[in-house]
Amino acid sequence: MSKTILVTGGARSGKSALAESMTLGLGRPAVYIATATIWDDEMAARVAEHKARRGPEWHTVQEPLDLVGALAASDGQGPRLVDCLTLWLTNLMLGEHDWRAAGQALCAALPEQTSPVVFVTNEVGLGIVPDNALARAFRDAAGTINQWVAAASDEVWFTVAGLPMKVK
Amino acid sequence: MSKTILVTGGARSGKSALAESMTLGLGRPAVYIATATIWDDEMAARVAEHKARRGPEWHTVQEPLDLVGALAASDGQGPRLVDCLTLWLTNLMLGEHDWRAAGQALCAALPEQTSPVVFVTNEVGLGIVPDNALARAFRDAAGTINQWVAAASDEVWFTVAGLPMKVK
Amino acid sequence: MSKTILVTGGARSGKSALAESMTLGLGRPAVYIATATIWDDEMAARVAEHKARRGPEWHTVQEPLDLVGALAASDGQGPRLVDCLTLWLTNLMLGEHDWRAAGQALCAALPEQTSPVVFVTNEVGLGIVPDNALARAFRDAAGTINQWVAAASDEVWFTVAGLPMKVK
């Protein structure tokens, strides 16, 4: 079983930059598995900014839903960076897929990997309880997915102001 | 004076599971002091899920307001888990009680306990400043209560993705 | 180059009290550089509470925008506490100033300081994604400023429930 790492933190806390650095530290070239689906200009700008930072050592794959398939297809091609679980969960919930089943299948697939996997995720549960039920359901699901993947990971890092704190 | 522990973290970060495990590590059977008042189906479902996880080693007490009384009544019956301070504060504020006086009375009662007490609380102050004044007042009060109880505790833990980080 | 410290955390997490204690530990008397602009009674009450806690060892300066100038003017007068970067950023954005240029100028000025500087800032990116674009832009900017100042600091602390966790 290869190494699995989870990098979590708030918005603009340096998660992606840390995870990219860790992934390249595990092997080059690396595979970037983007879960973002581009639905507006704000998201397009963010994706473009991330891609410009990464440079030529990365092979980029876009997979909004089937992470198990994307990991299977890229295994053996170098370390994989999945950025990020929170957008993946958003895609699952918007498409009315069973996110619990998908999360369990993802964790079940991790022991089979021969190349390392680094996951980026977001902490979204440290503010005031949201007014609407959908946002509450989303933050509950996000916290649950984070717990499952953290339990299945060898290392877990929490980023604050661009700096890593070791959780596991 | 017996041991006092505070477990804090975001929504679905694994606070309750960690606190339950710590409480049983301090003695069995244990007393679960629930501060939740069940006002809708969403809350009922969450309470039922927590209760199903706990099992028969727990004696459950429901006390939405008088934590000092609940601690006095259960002292000597095993370690107590208070879950959680944030709902207790919500109950105090909705009932227009003096939460500052209640918080100070709670901290003043801790040195008198002969059985351990483990508190669960929520971090709610790490998001964008809320639009409405009531939510801002609540998060200020929650942060203040957390500081007071943390100062009165022997150990403080911050949970991230189901994993504990030692704060004190 | 003198010491630079960043203290970050959520609302009512004990950031200011910790930063005040650290600043006085670096020398007395100290200079308090307040970035708050008082636009309502809620803010006036918060500023008054902070000022009452500080006492006579502090010389207070109010500077909502020009932190580089305030640091230059106070250098040599003792350690400086800037409270806080999040309100400074708010002032910059409300006044339609270039916050990126201001942030880079601030970081560029730090190596020139002969007296220490302690910064207080807020974590605002750990809740649900805000509904409105302005709040999202603000939390992105706040996270970016925090990363820049953290990179330029010798020490970074994250406060939880009034207690410090060392990040750097």
Helix/strand/coil (H, E, C) string of chain C? CCCEEEEEECCCCCHHHHHHHHHHHCCCCEEEEECCCCCCHHHHHHHHHHHHHHCCCEEEEECCCCHHHHHHHHCCCCCEEEECHHHHHHHHHHCCCCHHHHHHHHHHHHHHCCCCEEEEEECCCCCCCCCCHHHHHHHHHHHHHHHHHHHCCCEEEEEECCEEEECC
Share of chain A above pLDDT 90, in %: 85
Q: Which one is catalytic: B2, B38, B50, B148?
A: B50
Which ipTM did the prediction report?
A: 0.93
Chain B, nearest residue to A134 by Cα: B42
Q: Is B59 assigned a catalytic role?
A: no
Q: What would the mean pLDDT of A98-124 be, rounded to a whole number?
A: 98
Percentage with pLDDT > 90 across chain C: 85
Give chain C positions within 8 Å (CB) of B119: none
What is the model's pLDDT at position C27?
Answer: 96
A-C Cβ pairs (cutoff 8 Å, strict): 75
Number of Cβ within 10 Å of residue A82's Cβ equals 27
Helix C99-109 to helix C67-74 angle (10° resolution) is 20
Report residue B11's pLDDT band, with 50, 70 and 90 as the boundaries: very high
CB contact under 8 A, B11 and A133: no
How confident is the prediction for chain A on average, in pLDDT? 95
What confidence tens digit (pLDDT) does each residue in B41-79 have?
887 887 788 778 788 899 999 999 999 999 999 999 999
Range name among A20-24, C48-52, C132-136 with the lowest pLDDT average:
C48-52
For residue C29, whether the previous peptide bond is cis, meaning omega lies within 30 degrees of 0, is: yes
Judge whether residue C40 has pLDDT over 90: no
* Contacts within 8 Å (CB) and 24+ apart, B89-93: B89/B138, B89/B141, B89/B142, B89/B145, B90/B138, B91/B35, B91/B37, B91/B64, B91/B65, B92/B65, B93/B137, B93/B138, B93/B141
CA pair distance A167, A6, nearest whole angstrom: 10
With contact defined as beta carbons under 8 Å apart, do C159 and C15 qualify?
Answer: yes
- In angstroms, the CA C66 to CA C79 distance is 18
* Cα–Cα distance for residue pair A97/A88, rounded to 1 Å: 11
Residue pointed to by tokens 């189901």:
B162
Residue B154 has pLDDT above 80, yes or no: yes
Tens-place pLDDT, residues B99-115: 999 999 999 999 999 99
Nearest CA in chain A to B128: A127
Q: What is the pLDDT of residue C56?
A: 85
φ/ψ (deg, to 5) at C82: -100, 115
- Give the confidence band of C43 by pLDDT, cuts at 50, 70, 90: confident
Give the mean model confidence (pLDDT) for residues C93-122. Answer: 97
Using the predicted structure, report yes or no on whether residue A39 has a pLDDT greater than 90. no
Give residue-wise pLDDT tens across range A143-157.
999 999 999 999 999
pLDDT of A54 higher than 90: no
- Write down the pLDDT at residue B1: 64
Which of B1-15, B49-63, B79-93, B150-164 has the weakest average pLDDT? Answer: B49-63
Identity at C58, one-letter amino acid code? W
Among A93, A114, A94, which residue's Cα sits nearest to residue A103? Answer: A93
**Contact yes or no for B147 and C11 at CB 8 A:** no
Structural domains of chain C sorted by starting position, each given as residue range(s) with its CATH number in brackets:
4-166 (3.40.50.300)
pLDDT of residue A1: 64
Judge whether residue B167 has pLDDT over 80. Answer: yes
Report which of residues A23 and C51 the model is more confident about.
A23
- pLDDT above 90: residue A40: no
Tell me what pLDDT residue C1 has.
64
Q: How far apart are CA B70 and CA A22, in angstroms?
A: 49
What mean pLDDT is predicted for residues A96-120?
98
CB atoms C125 and A160 under 8 Å: no
| pLDDT the model gives residue A41 | 84
Chain B CA closest to residue A137: B42
Q: What is the mean pLDDT of residues A112-138?
A: 96
Across the range C74-95, mean pLDDT stands at 97
* pLDDT at residue C137 tops 90: yes
- Across the interface, whether the CB atoms of A150 and B130 are under 8 A apart is answered no
Residue B160 in this model has a pLDDT that exceeds 80: yes
